[in-house]
Chain A
Amino acid sequence: MESQVPLIEIRNLVKHFGSVIALSGVSLNVHRGEVMCLLGDNGAGKSTLIKTLAGVHRPTSGDFLVEGKPVSFSSPREALDAGIATVYQDLAMIPLMSVTRNFFMGREPVKGVWPFRRVDFDHCDEVTREEMHKIGIDVRDPHQAVGTLSGGERQCVAIARAVYFGAKVLILDEPTSALGVAQTSMVLKYIHQVRQKGLGVIFITHNVRHAYAVGDRFTVLNRGKTLGTYAKSEIQIDELQNLMAGGKELQAVSAELGGMV
């Protein structure tokens, strides 16, 4: 893993919004077949960082390399074409539309000649059913609305869609934060599967337990800076928790409450 060129590498990334310094020197890299967890409390700059990686924002300064080559995305579409797919927490799927229509949204395969060009829905249904089965969701009917799926299933379908369309790096924005325990383990299991396929995953969360369950390495973000990156063997779960919360205060509260926060 170490000898490879990272799928994504950023060095000293800085992003200013007017007078606000959102990111002041973030460094991070993701390799093939690993889950990099990006941890940070609210306001640490996680959202800005993902949006920069996803092509929504342009960095003010710093290096952004994809497979060793410097890149500069001007739209989410360009990032997508470069193989960086972002799955947003609740903006991934449209509940009123069918699973198939959601799966192929924006990338519908067509057949026939204009003006009779139409979406090849038979093919779409077949692919959707297959992909659903691979992730272990028993979709009885790909025509059913996404709204009938559970939150965990929706996240998994969104991830499966990104994988199917050739993503090399998946950026998952708090995929488990709104989910219950069973749902969460379903998503974490699927993240593990995606890693085994050789994709790089950036898993953004503020839940250390979720991160520790599936992550290979952990990068902690605080006040727009990376505090450091640690391999799983180097750090314990409670150390990670303290690091993320900026240390002392939380420890004090934790001691006061007689347990871990």
Chain B
Amino acid sequence: MVNTTQPTADLSPAPAVKKIQDERLREVSLVTKIMRRPELGALAGLILVAIFFASTADASMFTLAGIMNILSPAAQLGILAIAAALLMIGGEFDLSIGSMVAFTGLIFGAFITLSGWPLLLAIVATLVIAAVLGGLNGQLVIRTRLPSFIVTLAFLFILRGLSLVGLKWATGGSTQMRGIGDQAGEGLVRELFSGNALEGVFAWLAANDLIGKFPNGTPTVTGVPVSIVWFVGFALLATWILLRTRVGNWIFAAGGDPNAARNSGVPVDRVKTGLFMFTAAAAALVAILTVLDAGSTDARRGFQKEFEAIIAAVIGGCLLTGGYGSAIGAFFGAIIFGMVSIGLTYTRFDSDWFQVFLGAMLLLAVLFNNFIRRKVTGER
């Protein structure tokens, strides 16, 4: 790296310059800084929704048990939404993730019940197959230069159909495969993917009267469902990748303007293919978590999750055009989802209002994001 110094006379001594600029830095108001965060909308939305339910819903919604109830569906959706957010920032869509959940659920179930593989092997194989399918999606999009919307829409139907056909074939005519939970066995691997985490902590908290417990001394909430732990871990990892690593910068660049990125030496095609693989693997992870939790899988698993994931990502600040967004925003977006879908049952409202609410949130989020983008880029 050659850092040529300037032969022309410097106008002012460097230290003075630094000082002036540092002063100017402080002038960037806190408001501007906050406005620049893509997840602002999602956080504001979450607070609004929480206030709404705090004032209308039964108080039991915000107990520890209630919060776990909200977070469980949020976690499953959230893992998908975070992956979808990264892919959207990278400038692509994947409409096949819902079907991918069903399909990978099927092959995972088949590995356990039909092949009798040990759990760890079945999990690894399922993730690898998902990644290969995701890579195929990515390569098709890159090589044909077709919009990912249309390519993955094809896979939405292909994978859903394969799941149905495969399930009937594997079970002799049923669209549900049972007995996966029984055959998966127990052990460390099982505990990583199903049941509750932090049970010891919760028992200790209950023993010290910090959380509610039954008269016999067991806590009312025995632990955090592992899917929630995965969800939080996923959000942290994705945020770190996005904001602190080279790959993160490349994701923003690939989605922002692939040509400019290529001209600057960013391996755009590799980044996009990797994102498709990551998204598919996230769908497989959700499949593994939910199948082990329920002990069975069926053809409707993951139905319409692709739309919900994209909605959560958009609520989280992702632009449909790519190049902008955040993983932590998708995290909040998924929690909003969970809070509304579960929260309505704690109120006197008909829970079918959920869809109305969902559409309204989406519309608001898109309008808000557009406004923010204009602010950020100085577009007029």
Residues of A within 8 A of B (CB): 76-77, 80, 86, 88, 91-97, 101, 104-108, 110, 117-119, 121, 129, 133-134, 138, 140-141, 143-145, 147-149, 163-166, 193, 196-198
- Which residues on A sit within 8 Å (CB–CB) of B379? 147
Interface assignment of B143: CB less than 8 Å from any CB of chain A: no
Complex Cα distance, B5 from A163, in Å, reads 10
- Which residues on B sit within 8 Å (CB–CB) of A92? 260, 263
B235 to chain A, nearest CB (A): 17
B115 to chain A, nearest CB (A): 32
CB of A117 within 8 A of CB of B249, answer no
Interface centre among A77, A97, A149, A163 (most CB of B within 10 A): A97
CB of A197 within 8 A of CB of B256, answer no
CB of B263 within 8 A of CB of A86, answer yes
B269 to chain A, nearest CB (A): 13
Complex Cα distance, B36 from A121, in Å, reads 17
- Which residues on A sit within 8 Å (CB–CB) of B370? none
When A101-B249, A106-B266 are in contact, do A96 and B377 touch as well, CB less than 8 Å? yes
Interface centre among B24, B36, B248, B378 (most CB of A within 10 A): B378
Interface assignment of B324: CB less than 8 Å from any CB of chain A: yes
- Which residues on B sit within 8 Å (CB–CB) of A198? 4, 7
Q: Type the 1/0 row for B213-239, where 1 means its CB is closer than 8 Å to any CB of A.
A: 000000000000000000000000000
A94-B323, A96-B256, A145-B377 given; name 11 further pairs at CB < 8 Å. Answer: A86-B263, A94-B252, A94-B253, A97-B252, A97-B256, A110-B246, A117-B245, A118-B240, A141-B24, A166-B2, A197-B6
CB of B252 within 8 A of CB of A107, answer no
When A76-B263, A197-B7 are in contact, do A118 and B28 touch as well, CB less than 8 Å? no
**Contact size class for B?**
35 or more
When A105-B253, A108-B246, A196-B8 are in contact, do A133 and B21 touch as well, CB less than 8 Å? yes
B271 to chain A, nearest CB (A): 11
- Which residues on B sit within 8 Å (CB–CB) of A96? 252, 256, 319, 323-324, 373, 376-377
CB of B253 within 8 A of CB of A97, answer yes
Which chain A residue has the least Cβ–Cβ distance from B378? A148
CB of B244 within 8 A of CB of A91, answer no
CB of B6 within 8 A of CB of A143, answer no
- Which residues on B sit within 8 Å (CB–CB) of A141? 24-25, 28
CB of A108 within 8 A of CB of B249, answer yes
CB of A148 within 8 A of CB of B377, answer yes
Interface assignment of B200: CB less than 8 Å from any CB of chain A: no
When A92-B260, A196-B7 are in contact, do A97 and B244 touch as well, CB less than 8 Å? no
B17 to chain A, nearest CB (A): 6
Interface assignment of B352: CB less than 8 Å from any CB of chain A: no
When A94-B323, A105-B261, A106-B253 are in contact, do A164 and B3 touch as well, CB less than 8 Å? yes
Closest 4 CB pairs of A and B: A147-B377, A106-B265, A94-B256, A166-B2
B335 to chain A, nearest CB (A): 25
Complex Cα distance, B250 from A140, in Å, reads 25
Could you list some 20 contacts between A and B, CB below 8 A?
A76-B262, A88-B263, A91-B257, A91-B260, A91-B263, A92-B263, A94-B256, A96-B252, A96-B323, A96-B377, A101-B253, A106-B261, A117-B245, A118-B240, A140-B25, A145-B377, A147-B377, A193-B6, A193-B8, A198-B7
Interface assignment of B304: CB less than 8 Å from any CB of chain A: no
- Which residues on A sit within 8 Å (CB–CB) of B186? none
- Which residues on A sit within 8 Å (CB–CB) of B378? 145, 147-149
Q: Type the 1/0 row for B261-277, where 1 means its CB is closer than 8 Å to any CB of A.
A: 11111100000000000
- Which residues on B sit within 8 Å (CB–CB) of A197? 4, 6-7
Which chain B residue has the least Cβ–Cβ distance from A118? B244
Complex Cα distance, B324 from A94, in Å, reads 11
Q: Type the 1/0 row for B34-50, where 1 means its CB is closer than 8 Å to any CB of A.
A: 00100000000000000
Interface assignment of B1: CB less than 8 Å from any CB of chain A: yes
- Which residues on B sit within 8 Å (CB–CB) of A118? 240, 244-245
CB of A95 within 8 A of CB of B377, answer yes
Interface assignment of B27: CB less than 8 Å from any CB of chain A: yes
CB of A93 within 8 A of CB of B260, answer yes
- Which residues on B sit within 8 Å (CB–CB) of A148? 376-378
Which chain A residue has the least Cβ–Cβ distance from B10? A134
- Which residues on A sit within 8 Å (CB–CB) of B25? 140-141
- Which residues on A sit within 8 Å (CB–CB) of B253? 94, 97, 101, 105-106
Interface assignment of B259: CB less than 8 Å from any CB of chain A: yes
Complex Cα distance, B266 from A105, in Å, reads 7
- Which residues on B sit within 8 Å (CB–CB) of A110? 246
CB of B244 within 8 A of CB of A95, answer no
Of A147, A149, A163, which is within 8 A of B376 by CB? Answer: A147
Complex Cα distance, B7 from A197, in Å, reads 6
Complex Cα distance, B341 from A49, in Å, reads 60
